[in-house]
Amino acid sequence: MDLNSALEAYNKVTWGSYYYTAIEKVNQMTGKEMLVRTERIYRTNENAVVTLQLRNVSSVILSAYKLNMEDYFHKFHTIRGVEDLDLALIAPDIMWEVEINGYMDYLPIEQQIEIPFNGPGVYAVNIQEEQLEATTLIICSDIDMVFKSSREEILVFVQNMLNNQPVPNADIIITDGNRILIEGRTGSDGVMLEDFEDIQNMNNICVFVKNDQNIASNVLDVYGLGYSQGLAPKGYIYTDRPVYRPGHTVNFRGIIRDVVDGSYAVAEGKTMDCTVSDVNGRIIFKEEIFFSNFGTFENSITLGENAQEGYYNILLTNDDAGEVFTGKFLVEQYKLEKIKLELEFDRTVYFRGEVLEGLFKAEYYFGEPVINTEISYTLPDGRELKGETDENGEFSFQFDKIQFSPGI
């Protein structure tokens, strides 16, 4: 990789549309860069590392400061923002220099550096070189937590991630980001459950957990958190057919389920008022309904010969319990066609120039063919043609479609 030649080539671009791009590349290659990040939380059986992304930095000086995160959380109600601390006022617990492996001028390098910690704890690691400085937070902890909240309760479960056992007597601090709400400890099962009704007025809840030098922390967004809805009685009303003609008898049935102790239960011996109204809302049927031991009912109504067409509503109501269940059916003056006519083709796609062949089939709905009957049909080009069915109720036809445009 000849970076010097690349830099020389960029410096030769002194005009044209790529001039400013070349300047940007030169500044990027010749300037110093240093970014630091911590990939994750480390356990005490692991070696903690920080990852550096560098350019034109041949060595760095690292300083590690052990922090009291409980005091920090009490003051700031978060474990974030460590990089804003003025660490220069504090003597580091550890300080050492690291040479960058494979250093080369202008070459971007990524390197992981192991941090020599012993045991759990929280450390601020400051990385410096002559002109640049960066700070990151490293957490070495064997505990983690699950944090849940409703509008009235807060639950925290703490677990040791090395042996997968609950952590008893872990200290817990809960804040809303501005003030401390709860301070408590986990029980023998690793759980702390607290009632706290003010959650409904908050946006965020911050939790800090400490056990010896092990810590865990998290933030939960509770903005817009609502109350869960309990079960509600349900009903289903249906008819034996979807469509009726005036004068027909409408048979309708229904099934209702009540809620008892948080579960659905059979509405045995229940009574409700049943009404049927026409398209104008006029009540044409009203009766008290008695439910069976299975929570079901059935009834019927005969429509008048002059019943209006449209949707009719079936309504079950229980004013005392505030329950309403609905169903509907349609009334129409429909007429069954006497003849069924079908059109078939031997295939679905024809190429231009090919002759199209089709077949009409006509039969009565009771199954007999419609014989010696004239069929009129219109082609896509507007021509109107006629033909007559044979003794099987069929009429075949064909035509050249060379003048037709491609399509369906």
Residue pLDDT tens, the chain, 408 long:
588 888 888 888 888 888 899 999 999 999 999 999 999 999 999 999 999 999 999 999 999 988 888 888 888 888 888 777 777 778 888 899 999 999 999 999 999 999 888 889 999 899 999 889 999 989 999 999 998 887 778 899 999 999 999 999 999 999 888 888 889 999 999 999 988 777 767 778 899 999 988 999 988 887 766 666 778 899 999 999 999 999 999 999 999 999 888 889 987 778 899 999 999 999 999 999 999 989 999 999 999 999 999 999 999 998 887 889 999 999 998 777 788 888 888 888 877 778 888 899 989 888 889 899 898 988 877 788 888 889 998 988 887 766 666 655
pLDDT of residue 330: 94
Q: How far apart are CA 173 and CA 79, in angstroms?
A: 12
Assigned fold of 234-331? Immunoglobulin-like (2.60.40)
All residues at 6 or more sequence positions from 88 whose CB lies less than 8 Å from its CB, including other chains? none
Inter-CA distances, 211 with 51, 81, 116, 143, 163, Å? 28, 22, 22, 8, 15
Three-state DSSP state, 93:
coil
- Positions of E strands within 30-167: 33-37, 49-55, 59-67, 94-99, 108-114, 121-128, 133-140, 143-149, 153-160, 165-166
The span from the CA of 94 to the CA of 48, in Å, is: 14
Compute and round to an integer the Cα radius of gyration of the chain.
Answer: 41
> Phi, psi at residue 9, to the nearest 5°?
-65, -40
| DSSP-assigned beta bridge partners for residue 252 | 239, 299
CATH domain 31-63+93-138 topology: Immunoglobulin-like (2.60.40)
User: What are the boundaries of each domain within the chain?
Assistant: 31-63+93-138, 143-221, 234-331, 339-400
> From the CB of residue 333, how many other CB atoms can be counted at a distance below 10 Å?
8
| Tokens encoding 303 | 């429509």
CATH number of 143-221, picked from 3.30.70.3340, 3.40.50.720, 2.60.40.10, 3.20.20.70: 2.60.40.10
* Total residues found in the chain within this entry: 408
What is the predicted pLDDT for the residue at 322? 84
Same CATH topology for 143-221 and 234-331: the answer is yes
pLDDT of residue 365: 82
Q: Are 145 and 216 in contact (CB under 8 A)?
A: yes
Q: Are strands 243-244 and 296-302 parallel, antiparallel or unpaired?
A: unpaired
CA dihedral 361, 363, 367, 372 (to 10 degrees): -110
**3-state SS, residue 382:** coil
| 3-state SS assignment for residue 21 | helix
Model pLDDT, residue 143 = 94
Residues 6+ apart with CB under 8 A from 192: 154, 155, 156, 158, 172, 184, 185, 186
Check residue 310 and give its pLDDT: 93
User: What per-residue confidence (pLDDT) applies to 238?
Assistant: 95
What's residue 176's pLDDT? 86
What type of residue sits at position 106?
Y
Task: Look up residue 197 and give its DSSP letter.
Answer: G
pTM for this structure? Answer: 0.55
